[in-house]
Structure 1
């Protein structure tokens, strides 16, 4: 197995408040130590509730946030977040809101030229040829290059965002809710484009989304995050069909399904963990119908279960 990306005990904490002498009074652990690898050419889906750490993890991977601890290896080489150019040549970010992610004061040509100049020092004629090639690959006309971001629809702007990421010649793309702001028909077009680009350029994707159906459809494997930790990891066709962690089952039951009545998947008084005062054991114990005293005192580790899956639970659900 060729690893495109490897995380080892990657974690992020944010200081909270100020003490009497100016130091932080506490810290919020947004991402607990995560050890994870992504194979070259695969799409790893990342799902979880809002606030589970998905976007914080993504921002660490592209160098926008400095990890509190842990290491990031890209294609076998460790990278320091102090060198954003090194990250930019290997890994790029496609943002959720395509319009706001583009500089409104610059033309699309200027936006596209930025990574070619700063990351690759490419001369003008080579930049022109490279941009034309990339625009053709994302099905955009060259006449768009002299327009401004506000002149485009959401789907066109997202294609431009993808084109900008490809301009850096990165082999790994972090797709953070890349279709959630688009109409359903446009979502399908962008998803088909991403599939074609992955095959054409031998790309590796980390696909972050709240839409479980979309993640299941586009991913090879899925990592389920809860309270900053990976609680389940497995093949996309198995994770939601036969979830092994109670939280994954909760997510699956929460997703709207045509023909199924809408109903709350858990009681109204459910106990949510406090990020400033996390529980001593499993963070999901307060919401789990299978929790025992061990769950409330000991943190479960992500362990292999079955042939291909891993789960962090003392009482996994049957297959």
Structure 2
């Protein structure tokens, strides 16, 4: 298969309490060095609890946040922030909140026309034809084009957001919690639309969500993030059926299941991001932690075949 996207040691940190003179008071490592590969036509699901770095990683991939270190390659091309249009033509972002992601002062036609003009240079009849094509692709009526974002339901607004992301004919879509703000019945409609578009246009998806059931249903492979680091990756069916990292197992046990009482899994709290512990960040919550876990950071390594985990004591299948 052809490699669609690759990151090499991609990381992002933020200065906390900056001074006029001298170094900042602290530094928060939102995303620690992450190296991932996504094949063309694949859906990579990215999961983890709030604060694990999912959205920061997504925003780096589309150029909304500059990485502190590392690199991003799309189809073998090293992306440079000095050329922001390159990001837009190759990779696009679908936001979590569909209504607030649309400019309330612009009509839908104006919203869709902007990327077509700036990234594809379309004008006149070509522009109108492409807008009509985009609206047909997401199953919306053409008379909606003269309306404003507040006139639409969440599901309709997300379809518009998807159409805007497709305007530049990108190869890759980063979907950041694309259905979490929608009703369950509407979620299914949007997920079916995304599946149809992927098959028709040959797209590659990075699907970010905290809903494990949705991620398992739509993903080919899974990447699990904890405390800004990649702790497990592998085929979706293997990661959920036989997790090898204790944190992945905790996530699976925390998901609501009919007939199982809530709160049964050992949870605990995330470490202090401004004072991270030595060694494995999950050691304080892990029932299998030993002295080496509290002393040395485990490296991501192959556990069995194409399943990887960053753990000194990986779980048995």
Confirm or deny a common fold (TM above 0.5).
Answer: yes
Secondary structure in structure 2 of the residue aligned to 1:102: coil
Q: Deviations over 1:137-162 (max 9, x none)?
A: 11111111111111111000000000
Q: Deviations over 1:121-177 (max 9, x none)?
A: 112110111111111111111111111111111000000000000001111000000
Q: In the alignment, which residue of structure 2 is the partner of 1:141?
A: 141
Q: CA deviation at 1:19?
A: 4.4
2:9 pairs with 1:23: no
- What SS is found at the alignment partner of 1:223? strand
Work out the CA distance in 2 between the residues paired with 1:304 and 1:46: 18
Alpha-carbon distance in structure 1 between the residues aligned to 2:18 and 2:160: 42
1:118 aligns with 2:124: no
Q: Is the partner of 2:12 in helix, strand or coil?
A: strand
**CA distance in 2 between partners of 1:45 and 1:81 (Å):** 25
Q: Mapping of 1:1-319 within 5 angstroms? A: 1-19=1-19, 21-266=21-266, 270=268, 272-319=270-317
Answer whether contact 1:65 1:81 (CA < 8 A) is retained. no
> In the aligned structure 1, how far is the partner of 2:270 from the partner of 2:103?
38
In structure 2, distance between residues paired with 1:219 and 1:143: 34
The offset of 1:306, in angstroms, is 1.0
DSSP-derived class of the 1:283 partner = coil
Asked whether the 8 Å contact 2:244–2:314 carries over to 1, the reply is yes
CA separation in 2, counterparts of 1:279 and 1:16? 18
In the TM superposition, what is the alpha-carbon distance from 1:264 to its structure 2 partner? Answer: 4.0
Distance in 2 (CA, whole Å) between partners of 1:246 and 1:83 is 41
Q: 2:227, 2:270 within 8 Å by CA — same for their partners in 1?
A: no
Displacement of 1:271 in angstroms is 5.3
**Any idea what SS the aligned residue of 1:294 has?**
helix
- Residues in 2 aligned to 1:112 and 1:271: alpha-carbon distance in whole angstroms: 42
Task: Give SS of 1:240's match.
Answer: helix
Q: TM-score, with normalisation over the residues of structure 2?
A: 0.98
For the residues of structure 2 that align with 1:258 and 1:139, how far apart are their CA atoms? 34
- Structure 1: gaps (5+ residues): none
Name the CA distance, whole Å, in 1 between partners of 2:82 and 2:49.
30
Mapped contact 1:244–1:316 kept (Cα < 8 A): yes
Q: TM-score, normalised by structure 1?
A: 0.97
C-alpha distance in 1 between matches for 2:163 and 2:20:
49
- Per-residue deviation at 1:18? 3.0
Change (3 A) 1:126 1:20: closer
Structure-1 separation of matches of 2:256 and 2:244: 20
Per-residue CA distance 1:8-56 (angstroms, 9 max, x = gap) = 0000000011347243122000000001110000000000010000000
- Per-residue deviation, 1:102: 0.3
- Cα distance in 1 for residues equivalent to 2:38 and 2:126: 32
